Amino acid sequence: MKITYREALRQAMHEALAADSRVFLMGEDVGKYGGSYAVSKGFLAEFGPERIRDAPLSELGFVGTAIGAALGGMRPIVEIMTVNFSLLALDQIVNTAAVYRHMSGGQFSVPVVVRMATGGGRQLAAQHSHSLENWYAHVPGITVLAPATVDDARGMLRAALADPDPVVIFEHAMLYPMEGELSPDWEKADLRTAKILRAGRDVTLIAYGGTVWKAQEAARQLAAEGIEAEVLDLRVLRPLDDATIMASVGRTRRAVIVDEGWRTGSLAGEIMARIMEQAFYELDAPVARVCSAEVPIPYAKHMEGAALPQAPAVVAAVRQLLAKA
């Protein structure tokens, strides 16, 4: 069945709300407006204001409220309009939710799910367009997800709500209108494993979220040149699935990481380090990465496009690796 990424998320939340009275949705414009990306459209009329709670413009306040509700036995889903605004709730997520189990000696858990839009490409400029996933993937005590497919958009929320500890879900804003085939595999979504989306023998393209589809496009272009690229969707950014990453790199002996974060301090850098630690002698060429330019994301469309990773840059990186072999 073909559905949009947005509809897959909507179905996942509707299922959770209908199945468990402890689940509620909280965030800015999630009720009457139907969500900034229309994911919760119609929920207020169906589930009422106790379950669909419009929050004031205070991420620190409503994320903290959700953490308190989770400690009290509820299963809150918090929607933050964009990743840039999540910085206002960083204290609640990092200094409270992520550490509660540790600081209580295992007596308390915080089963809260925080959803947020991430990424550029919509001409919304520097305060609405960045990719800060690695900031959260750096923190022990939380699970960090980046669903790139309709299967994961549909299935990961169920798994996240079943987890006793905090889960942060990054939804790339350019994916909401994307259509895909919803397969039976959506019910197998987990919070631990990466997935090979395209098999290949010459190079592994490692991506997540919105960059998965740029990696797929790059793989198609490379195939026309006789270069078979394997595309690995990380899916889960913390904990990283080292076993799947190393197995793929061991097969292809080359890797390019596509990351919409900035190069400095990037998730791509962490993955490169792990490959060097665990698979150095499997490599036929240095690991490469394609990241966003080290600038605030521009507003102008042509400049925004130039600042973000694109398929041609991935193709060029692969060609350079093969030239070095």
- Residues taking part in catalysis: 59, 128
> CA 27 to CA 114: how far, in whole Å?
10
Using CA atoms, how far residue 220 sits from 123, 180, 208, in Å, is 27, 17, 17
Would you list the DSSP string of 174-194? GGTT-EEE--GGGGG--SS--
β-pairing, 113-118 vs 167-172, is parallel
CA distance 122 to 50: 33
User: Residues 6 or more apart from 254 whose CB is under 8 A from it?
Assistant: 202, 203, 204, 283, 284, 285, 287, 318, 321, 322, 325
- Beta-strand pair 203-207/75-80: unpaired
CA distance 136 to 205: 23
What CA–CA distance (Å, rounded) separates 108 from 53?
A: 25
